Chain A
């Protein structure tokens, strides 16, 4: 999920650049523009490390076109990022972040730019084991990110509620540990949602690949993103054509492969909190009004949301599904065998 969203942010940044800098030879209205931090942070509080991607739109008193060439202008290496958990209006936990990578593709319109920061501590270190056995919102009410820049600039900050649903997947009635995607009865994923949050169904697909030698591979792909849900029980039927199409798009093509063999797969239901839902509905809407400004940061733009996931792991494919994997129109070129 992360990559497309990051790119979306950058897309908007660079769309702005394209629109304006194309006229830069005649009138560069971005000269003297203020910097606008762009932040991406979607975390599972139970993760072993939290990450923040921080970049910016164009800053400084040079033209945007010139600034885009300079990686040091793009990133905030010296930013001080703090995450705080709050309860009863008091901060009960906080951690600082340290820069871990500074990515900058070559070219003016780089597809990926910014500095990734990793937390020095996570909440599980602080709250201890019980934290993992209960819902985190019992431990804190708000989570806040504050970014300072070591000068007189205003702080960038966002604060979100912790009321995140934790999804659970109901096993299909038949095929307890078998993913019978090609059965006559569609494979159902059932889960409960008390709020209209952002749900994404993904798959980790493991297989062996025989070329010069045999290697084990694993790929991740999304089956359905932003699943429409109602409050209450939700059933999602997995469309077999969609599944195999997404699978085929995710496995890299190679002429050297002699054959592939399915090993197992996991289904992962990912849920993210309200800011993620609003963000996705805003920027990935099909209607023309979808590009209205949405943002949960002050003195910056970006996304700050909580996520969590539930997994059905180590599922097998039934024989009919293996046959389709080997011979179906989307995947037959991948050279999967039927057993």
Chain B
């Protein structure tokens, strides 16, 4: 009797699937003396010769469902077959570019789950000294974030109020025309039906979704003017358009963090972040921004 199992059952096209028929037995219940051959696409063409090795690793380079058949034979030539089905997904092919008509800057974009996402952080506005505040003066202002570890990445760091263009009721904020700052709900679309544990491979740097939410081209900043200008790290934070006023100096802001290290692995959304120093002049939390638009 042929018995086949596979590990894992769902993975991307780069992952090796372990196909295992070692629990197969002959018609007298013994496992010795068996040989195995494999048909990786169940198309009737054997992809391997008969071999005494009961396990084999295989990558499925085309996304989709794949039925695998193994034939197990004993010395007498008596054969039986078994099959398993695996599912693979691949790299996002819906990628393009978008030109910001305001300054002509070109951004990579990717269509994913009903939205076009900027794959790079917004880099728009007048660059000001980190010692200055981003003011409500009709001019979009940004701090330039350059992480020495990723010298190819330059992006804007924005105070949340500046990101919203000081209009907290309008999701467009400082995004290009037709684009807007994603809400918490829209960020949550990325998590639907997908294991958080797999987030790095999907959403991380050079991940399959092509969104690049991890290190390499995303930065978050923090300005504390008393003694330090702008600190950048790779615990990336992106502003959302969500907020809750709780009173002067006390506001909860929506923030999305891609945090693949530390105690939490993968991608999580902190629904609302308490920002005690929001209205203090000497402390500014400046973060990165992604813009989206519906498909």
**Residues of chain A having any CB pair with chain B under 8 Å:** 86-93, 125-130, 139, 146, 154-157, 159, 298-299
Contact = CB atoms under 8 A, between A and B. Distances in A.
Interface string B80-123: 00000000000000000000000000000000000000000000
Question: Which one of B8, B59, B265 has the greatest number of beta carbons of chain A within 10 Å?
Answer: B265
B170 interface: no
Contact of A157 (B11, B18, B261, B266): B18
Contacts of A130: 262-263
Contact of A128 (B15, B200, B262): B262
A93 B199 CA distance: 11
A156 to B, nearest CB: 8
Contacts of A128: 261-263
Interface in B196-214: 197-198, 200-201
Q: How large is the interface on B (under 10, 10 to 19, 20 to 34, 35 or more residues)?
A: 20 to 34
Given A146-B16, A157-B16, A157-B18, A87 B57 contact: no
Given A157-B18, A159-B18, A90 B198 contact: yes
Interface of B: 7-11, 15-16, 18, 53, 55-57, 59, 195, 197-198, 200-201, 260-263, 265-266
B262 A127 contact: yes
A247 B197 CA distance: 48
A91 B261 contact: no
Contact of B57 (A90, A127, A155): A155
Contacts of B265: 92-93, 126-127, 139
Given A130-B262, A156-B57, 9 more contacts: A86-B8, A92-B198, A125-B261, A146-B57, A155-B59, A157-B16, A159-B18, A298-B18, A298-B53
A130 B8 CA distance: 27
A154 B38 CA distance: 13
28 contacts: A87-B197, A88-B195, A89-B9, A89-B10, A90-B197, A91-B15, A92-B265, A93-B265, A125-B261, A126-B260, A126-B261, A126-B265, A128-B261, A129-B262, A130-B263, A139-B265, A146-B16, A146-B57, A156-B57, A157-B18, A157-B57, A298-B18, A298-B55, A298-B56, A298-B57, A299-B53, A299-B56, A299-B57
